[in-house]
């Protein structure tokens, strides 16, 4: 039997480990996107969990970023929630702050702004969007949008 040689340290992948119990920003982002899509679909954590064979507590942990989603589970969620796997990574900031994964030498991006929670990830926003699209009459939807703009500062985003 041949013995495997240890890879020299200078050739090992460079990862900055997150402290124990601290979710990475990638896990937080993927979890928020999971929660966002589940809420928009009107699905409970319990129903989503049952669909893939996990408890609702496990779904909560995924959504909080406390437990990392593996490729298989992410694929299952994408099918159930009718999105591509890439959906979970959309709008994710890039750079060293996202997970401490070092960029290849000479290919590093410039430092970017710190990752912050998006209003689209808030429960209130998701419920508002869901209720808005349940209005069948497009004219009524347009009037509600105009009302919301008039109550706010009126800028389009």
Helix residue ranges per DSSP H, 14-137: 25-40, 45-52, 56-64, 71-80, 123-133
Q: Is the pLDDT of residue 89 over 50?
A: yes
Domain 19-118, CATH among 3.40.50.10490, 3.40.630.30, 1.10.260.40, 1.20.1260.10: 1.10.260.40
Q: Is the pLDDT of residue 10 over 90?
A: no
pLDDT in tens, 99-140: 455 444 444 555 544 445 566 667 788 788 888 888 899 899
Domain boundaries, the chain: 19-118, 122-157
Q: What percent of the chain lies above the pLDDT cut of 90? A: 41
Residues 6+ apart with CB under 8 A from 66: 23, 27
Determine if the pTM surpasses 0.85.
Answer: no
- With H, G, I as helix, E, B as strand and everything else as coil, classify residue 49: helix
Kindly give the interhelix angle for 56-64 and 45-52, rounded to the nearest 10 degrees: 100
Measured distance CA(61)–CA(69) in Å, rounded: 10
Name the nearest CA neighbour of 131 among 150, 119, 144, 118: 144
pLDDT in tens, 12-45: 444 455 566 678 889 999 999 999 999 888 899 9
Measured distance CA(57)–CA(66) in Å, rounded: 11
Site of tokens 């979710």:
23
Name the nearest CA neighbour of 141 among 130, 154, 151, 152: 130
Measured distance CA(28)–CA(11) in Å, rounded: 29
């Amino acid at each position: 039997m041949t013995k495997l040689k240890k890879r020299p340290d200078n050739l090992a992948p460079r990862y900055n480990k997150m402290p124990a119990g601290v979710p990475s920003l990638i896990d937080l982002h993927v979890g928020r996107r999971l929660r966002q899509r589940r809420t928009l679909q009107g699905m409970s954590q319990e129903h989503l969990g049952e669909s893939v064979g996990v408890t609702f507590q496990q779904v909560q942990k995924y959504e909080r970023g406390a437990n990392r989603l593996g490729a298989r589970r992410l694929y299952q969620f994408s099918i159930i929630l009718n999105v591509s796997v890439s959906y979970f990574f959309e709008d994710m900031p890039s750079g060293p702050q996202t997970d401490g994964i070092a960029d290849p030498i000479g290919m590093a991006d410039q430092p970017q702004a710190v990752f912050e929670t998006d209003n689209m990830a808030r429960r209130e926003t998701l419920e508002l969007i869901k209720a808005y699209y349940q209005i069948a009459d497009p004219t009524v939807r347009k009037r509600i949008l105009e009302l919301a703009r008039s109550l706010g500062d009126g800028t389009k985003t």
